[in-house]
Amino acid sequence: KRISVIGLGYIGLPTAAMFASRKIEVVGVDVNQQTVDTINRGEVHIVEPDLDMVVRAVVKEGYLRASTKPEEAEAFLIAVPTPFKGQNHEPDLSYIKAASRAIAPVLQLGNLVILESTSPVGATEAMADWLAEARPDLSFPQHAGEASDIRIAHCPERVLPGKVMQELISNDRVVGGITPVCSKCAVELYKTFVTGDCVIASGPRVAEMAKLTENAFRDVNIAFANELSLICDELNMDVWELIRLANRHPRVNILQPGPGVGGHCIAVDPWFIVSSAPEQARLIRTAREVNDSKPNWVLNKIRAAIGAHLMENPSKTAADVTVAIYGLAFKPDIDDLRESPALTIAKELAAKHNGPIFVVEPNITALPEMLCAENIQLCDLSIEATIHLLLVDHESFRGMDIPQGIIIDTRGIWTRVS
């Protein structure tokens, strides 16, 4: 038995490594030669706890190898990006289309193709049509039903970055096959390592929507907390005290406000629902807008603090005001800066503020290129500055002495009323 995983990123590589750790031959396929070479050396190009250890072992034992060219396999798992494009946040299925075109020539009778990428409603059916178009000699389940040569299902990934290797095994999975037999084949495959339930959906569309709904649910709840933080600022109240008090109700569980929502899932997926049903998805759209507006709100807070400081110290100019930024990652205790609101804030500040900016981010060793300006540098904890801006609640920031100076705490760990 051989499994092929297409796309060796944050989801594909851990999934490939997991199957390989169960002594199944896995061929990982990626368009990036560097990624392929790194994996074939037994190394990893992404940071995720325990992933390096598993990849090293399975490559050494010969269960996992990577290639830029797809080859024959019994099952294909597609885990490529599904970003959005343009002002209207339309989903971009070009990576799924390219992956379909790439595997089509090597498909054989009896193969199973699973789409794992988080996808807008209808993407699995579109993938099935692209495959069918490329292989008129084979029959597909959208036309031939249970008699088809190829099985197709959607099984969205739902693992939390930072806990991927654990959640891949223990989370329940939603499986939406185009036919019941497609679902059954997919469940059998996942059962090789999944200890959670594999729940069969009535079809791929509802499985796609389930995944989008999970992330939209979280986004709406974070937006609620973020909106409360704006209201509390207006009413001169501590939002963290407010949430702590309200959460004492047995049926209330408000999430935490912050400088915005980052990562490449929660800030993206709700837009797929909005673009499918723009008239109806009003709350989901507004939640996105509330969360997306938070970095700008934080930037205005910094501007106001700089202005107030200069009013009190008329001999100073903006160039004398130093700002220390704590945290760049999109959430605590990871090194992942993708779509991070903290990064957006740091970049904007570096562009507008002409005084020195110090960045404290214990999880990285060099500033990303987009932050390479003359007035900005990476520093250790215990830096002196006029303004201390806390953007990520890393464990090390919780444990440190609260710095001296003006504090803007977007996570409520230094200023919280206890």
Instruction: Determine contact, residues 409/391, Cβ cutoff 8 Å.
Output: no
Residues in contact with ligand SAJ, counted by CB under 6 A, come to a total of 20
How far, in Å, CA of 411 to CA of 390, rounded? 7
**256 touching ligand SAJ, by CB under 6 A:** yes
Phi and psi angles of residue 324, each rounded to the nearest 5 degrees, phi first: -105, 125
C-beta of 67 vs 213, nearer to ligand SAJ: 213
Which element (helix H / strand E) includes 189?
Answer: helix 180-190
Instruction: Determine contact, residues 144/131, Cβ cutoff 8 Å.
Output: no
The interface with ligand SAJ within residues 122-141 (CB under 6 A) comprises: none
**210 touching ligand SAJ, by CB under 6 A:** no
Query: Which one of 12, 176, 258, 356 is in contact with ligand SAJ (CB under 6 A)?
Result: 258
Sign of the CA dihedral running 111, 117, 123, 126: negative
Residue 376 in tokens: 């900005």
**330 touching ligand SAJ, by CB under 6 A:** yes
**160 touching ligand SAJ, by CB under 6 A:** yes
Q: What is the CA radius of gyration of the chain?
A: 24
Query: Which one of 25, 92, 129, 214 is in contact with ligand SAJ (CB under 6 A)?
Result: 214
**7 touching ligand SAJ, by CB under 6 A:** no
Which residue minimizes CB distance to ligand SAJ? 265
Strand ranges, E, within 46-87? 64-67, 75-78, 84-85
Task: Look at residue 115 and give its three-state secondary structure.
Answer: strand
Known catalytic residues?
A: 211, 265
C-beta of 222 vs 305, nearer to ligand SAJ: 222
How far, in Å, CA of 282 to CA of 268, rounded? 16
From 93-101, 120-128, 156-164, 174-182, give the range in contact with ligand SAJ by CB under 6 A.
156-164
**158 touching ligand SAJ, by CB under 6 A:** yes
**215 touching ligand SAJ, by CB under 6 A:** yes
Residues in the chain: 418
| 387-390, strands of its sheet edge to edge | 376-378, 357-360, 323-326, 387-390, 406-409
From 39-47, 103-111, 214-222, 371-379, give the range in contact with ligand SAJ by CB under 6 A.
214-222
**Dihedral of the CA atoms 124, 126, 131, 132 (nearest 10)?**
120
Query: Which one of 39, 201, 266, 299 is in contact with ligand SAJ (CB under 6 A)?
Result: 266
Q: Pick from 159, 139, 140: which is nearest to 214 by CA?
A: 159
CB of 154 to ligand SAJ, least distance (A): 14
Instruction: Determine contact, residues 129/91, Cβ cutoff 8 Å.
Output: no
Query: Which one of 35, 82, 118, 344 is in contact with ligand SAJ (CB under 6 A)?
Result: 118
Establish how many alpha carbons lie within 13 A of residue 336's alpha carbon, considering only the half-sphere containing its beta carbon. Answer: 21
CB of 267 to ligand SAJ, least distance (A): 7
Query: Which one of 54, 121, 159, 367 is in contact with ligand SAJ (CB under 6 A)?
Result: 159
**155 touching ligand SAJ, by CB under 6 A:** no
Per-residue contact string for residues 285-324; x = within reach of ligand SAJ by CB under 6 A = ----------------------------------------
Query: Which one of 46, 138, 168, 222 is in contact with ligand SAJ (CB under 6 A)?
Result: 222
CB of 29 to ligand SAJ, least distance (A): 20
How far, in Å, CA of 361 to CA of 357, rounded? 13
> How far is C-alpha 291 from the chain's CA centre?
15
**218 touching ligand SAJ, by CB under 6 A:** yes
C-beta of 371 vs 385, nearer to ligand SAJ: 371
List of residues contacting ligand SAJ (CB under 6 A): 118, 157-161, 214-215, 218, 222, 255-256, 258, 261-263, 265-266, 330-331
